[in-house]
Amino acid sequence: MSEPRGGGCAGLLTGHLLPVLVAALFLLPLLWMITTSLREAGLPPPRTIEWLPESPSGDNYAAVFELLPFGRYLFNSLAVVTLAVPLTIITASMAGFAMALLERRSRVALVVLSVALLMVPITALWLTRFLLFSWIGLTDSLLALAVPSLAGSSPLFVLLFYWTFRRVSPDIFEMAHLDGAGAISVWRRIALPNALPTTIAVAVLTFILYWSDFISPLLYLRDQGLYTLPLGLRQLQQLDPTDWPLLMAGAVMLTLPAVLFFLVVQHLFLGERGFSGRRR
């Protein structure tokens, strides 16, 4: 495209100056959350914008664990994620693989179905989903939170695997098939190992999805011993809605794992190749 080739005032403006400002703007919420969480407990709220507290302290982080069983919540969150991420990888990649190799008519129908499913408002389902879960005795259990992973967690993940496997030449799969391998063993031995970038990206997206999930535990869990971190943070807010440093410390603990995992794999989404299952 006719982008300026560097140089010139306009080039500098859209090349670096504006991007730096935009990046700073988008980092602002994260930054304010962290600096506020480091503010000494018991001080009156700041009357100016505080970029870093005078004497940063980690006391608020310890206080969160004293007020609520955050260790327990952390364990529950990890249990859900440990169950949901591998299951999602298996179900989503199997479905994506199968879709990519079906004949044209079924393939197109399934892609259209998946895109349509992306448009279904989940809030239009949660009530009856809750009733279903309570009828089969699945409420008040961590399993209820991980159930969507049995169906690939999100049609988006299935589609990501589908697009990845579509880029691989079908000849490779066909050759393995002619050697006598069944569909499942071709998926396990050839397709999946060659889709490592997509697998990692979907794993991280799945982690973030379940780690952040607030609505499912809110709907399905009554027993406080089963609470996950997002519900714990909500509880913290109900205990003291005005202790901002404490609340932000809780928010940081919930946020950092998601942000860090994202940063580790961001090049898979945002790099020059974009989402790519291409083999090097």
Partner 1 sequence: MRRFSLSWQAGLWAMLLPYLVGTLLLVGLPALMSAILAFTTYDALTPPVFVGFANFRLLAADPIVTTAIGNSLVFILLAVPLRILGALGLALLLLRPRRGVSGYRAAAYVPTVIPDVAFALIWLWIFNPLFGPVNVALGALGLPQPGWLADAETARYPFVVMSVFQIGEGFVVLLAALRGLPREYFDAGAVDGAGRWGSFRYLTLPLLLPWLALLTFRDIILTFQWTFTPSFVMTGGDPYYATMFLPLLTYEEAFDRFRFGAGSALMLITFLLSAAIIGGIYLLFRRRGYTADV
Q: Cβ of residue 78: shortest distance to partner 1, in angstroms?
A: 14
Nearer to partner 1, 19 or 225 (CB): 19
The site that binds partner 1 (CB under 8 A) totals a number of residues, namely 100
Q: Cβ of residue 3: shortest distance to partner 1, in angstroms?
A: 5
Interaction of residue 193 with partner 1, rule CB under 8 A: no
- Build a one-symbol-per-residue string for 140-169: x at contacts with partner 1 by CB under 8 A, - elsewhere: -------xx-xxx--x--x-----------
- List, in order, residues 6 or more apart from 172 with CB less than 8 Å away: 190
Interaction of residue 33 with partner 1, rule CB under 8 A: yes
Near partner 1 by CB under 8 A, which window of 65-73, 138-146, 192-200, 269-277? 269-277
What is the biggest distance separating any 2 CA atoms in the chain, rounded to whole angstroms? 74
Interaction of residue 92 with partner 1, rule CB under 8 A: yes
* Binder among 68, 111, 192, 226 for partner 1 (CB under 8 A): 111
Interaction of residue 8 with partner 1, rule CB under 8 A: no
- List, in order, residues 6 or more apart from 37 with CB less than 8 Å away: 60, 61, 245, 248, 249, 251, 252
Q: Cβ of residue 213: shortest distance to partner 1, in angstroms?
A: 8
Interaction of residue 101 with partner 1, rule CB under 8 A: yes
Interaction of residue 9 with partner 1, rule CB under 8 A: no
Near partner 1 by CB under 8 A, which window of 53-61, 66-74, 78-86, 171-179? 171-179
> CB burial class (10 A; 0-12, 13-18, 19+) of residue 223?
exposed
Q: Cβ of residue 225: shortest distance to partner 1, in angstroms?
A: 19
Q: Binding to partner 1 (CB under 8 A): which residues in 226-255?
A: 230, 233-234, 237, 244, 247-248, 250-252, 254-255
Q: What is the DSSP string of the chain?
A: -----S-SHHHHIIIIIHHHHHHHHHHHHHHHHHHHHTSPTTPPPPSS--SS-SS---HHHHHHHHHS-HHHHHHHHHHHHHHHHHHHHHHHHHHHHHHHHS-HHHHHHHHHHHHHHHTS-GGGTHHHHHHHHHHTT-SSSHHHHHGGGGGTS-HHHHHHHHHHHHHS-HHHHHHHHHTT--HHHHIIIIIGGGGHHHHHHHHHHHHHHHHH--HHHHHH---GGG--HHHHHHHHHHH-TT-HHHHHHHHHHHHHHHHHHHHHHHHHHHSTT-S-----
Interaction of residue 224 with partner 1, rule CB under 8 A: no
Q: Cβ of residue 45: shortest distance to partner 1, in angstroms?
A: 4
Near partner 1 by CB under 8 A, which window of 58-66, 67-75, 90-98, 192-200? 90-98
Interaction of residue 197 with partner 1, rule CB under 8 A: no
Q: Binding to partner 1 (CB under 8 A): which residues in 54-83?
A: none
* Binder among 12, 109, 118, 239 for partner 1 (CB under 8 A): 118
